[in-house]
Structure 1
């Protein structure tokens, strides 16, 4: 038997139902979220639903107006209570090159001073971790990653930067992530990745998905620009292994 959680179900709008887990960031719970999400896709294959997950929730969007929302909630509860095992998730570990040069790491000096850590130590601690993709948002292709070394946790900026560059690697609270496009943002920037994290022209616009792992690979400025040329020429493919 798998671990069961006390879920909350509520109408979100006339075509959606929100399912919520406890409000924590936890890998075991993420596995339960993704397992339930996959099962709902299987159970609703004829209904054409869209299911979006976050750290601790699933939003089930139906193509039609829900006639009896409480009856549908009961159906969802029954599906969850009947789950007896975790389905095998096809997950990957992706290697993501990052250049931590001062030109990109505009907040490295602040972190170094505040944390009493040398920049090289911050880079080492940040790049030695293996991170988990919990979900993708607030921008298309923005990976919310769990697994940050506790010594690097740093509150978000009180005044957001209005022009964070595409590929910027940042730290916000106990998370790290990469900006897939130029955007305002309040995370502390420590590097930049030349990789493209969102391409709407591809079948899978974002190569990574919730549950996948990310390993940052430090690269020099020269290596960064070499990879960027490959990305711009559409001949770069991120390295990955199955996990």
Structure 2
């Protein structure tokens, strides 16, 4: 595995580990297992470990003075990685209202993809998606598993404001905006579920890397009902 990775000092307090590999669930398991092992071995020195599709950024509490020692340690950990970390088998249902008030780009997407709106919704709700990492915004899940027929470029002109809960498509990805934000994804619906709560006592993000989710189409009435009750990640 060593010839398929790069380990280099990203800045004075961080080391980046990059995998030259196709993005898939096997690689995700390796990354999550490696993160767990690195944190366990160096917990007192590490501030945070951030994962992406094919990398880990290890951020230390102080300046790194022993990069090559740490690099060799990481390479040894990687060589011993065993895929014993199972991805979460529980599939979390995420309700989404795809009606016109929320699915701003559903009609234009239907025309460009030459699929009916109901077929887009069917294809979007059918897969079980894997959360590969949280990024862009706190609580924003990057999901793998989108139907290839729904692949579509970002909007040429991003919107200045997209409401929290908006569900979008961009290139080969689908995701959910956890808070109000500018953005250029094609918006096809909105979820009433709170994905990020900075005041939550135990976890600020509802989802984490490795989680499995599936979208469930709901009416506007049910959206409003769930939204009124969605608190502390309960809905």
**How far, CA to CA, are the matches of 1:5 and 1:141 in structure 2?**
33
**Root-mean-square deviation (CA), in Å?**
1.6
Q: How many corresponding residue pairs?
A: 233
Report Cα offsets for 1:43-98 as digits up to 9, x if no partner.
11333441110000000011121112122111111221133x22334624211100
TM-superposed CA distance for 1:235, in Å, is: 6.5
| Cα distance between partner residues in 1 of 2:169 and 2:41 | 38
- Are residues 1:88 and 2:99 paired? no
Could you list the runs of 4 or more consecutive aligned residues of structure 1 that deviate by over 4 angstroms after TM superposition? none
Indicate yes or no: 2:218 matched with 1:182. no
Match of 2:48 among 29, 50, 53: 50
What residue in structure 2 maps to residue 201 of structure 1? 199
- The equivalent of 1:101 in structure 2 is 99
Q: Give unpaired runs (5+ residues) of structure 2.
A: none
Query: What's the CA shift string for 1:176-232, capped at 9, x where partnerless?
Result: 00001111111000000000100011121012110111110111011000000002x
With normalisation by structure 2, the TM-score equals 0.94
Retained in 1: the 8 A contact 2:126–2:214?
A: yes
Q: In the TM superposition, what whole-angstrom CA distance separates every residue of 1:89-138 from its partner, at most 9, and x where no partner exists?
A: 46242111000001100101111101111100100110111101010010
Judge conservation of contact 1:230–1:236 (CA < 8 Å) in 2: no
1:20–1:81 CA distance, 2 compared to 1 (3 A): same
Residue 233 of structure 2 corresponds to residue 230 of structure 1: no
Determine the structure 1 residue equivalent to 2:167. Answer: 169
Check the 8 A contact 1:164/1:183 in 2, yes or no: yes
Distance in structure 2 (CA, Å) of the matches to 1:23 and 1:82: 18
* CA separation of 1:157 and 1:228: change in aligned 2, threshold 3 A: same
CA distance in 2, matches of 1:236, 1:36: 28
Moved more, 87-96 or 204-213: 87-96
Assess if the C-alpha contact under 8 Å between 1:41 and 1:49 holds in 2. Answer: no
Distance 2:177 2:233 in 1: 19
The alpha-carbon distance between structure 1 residues 235 and 201, as it changes in their structure 2 partners (threshold 3 A), is: closer
Is the 1:52–1:59 Cα contact (8 Å) retained in structure 2?
yes
Counterparts of 2:38 and 2:133, CA distance in 1 = 17
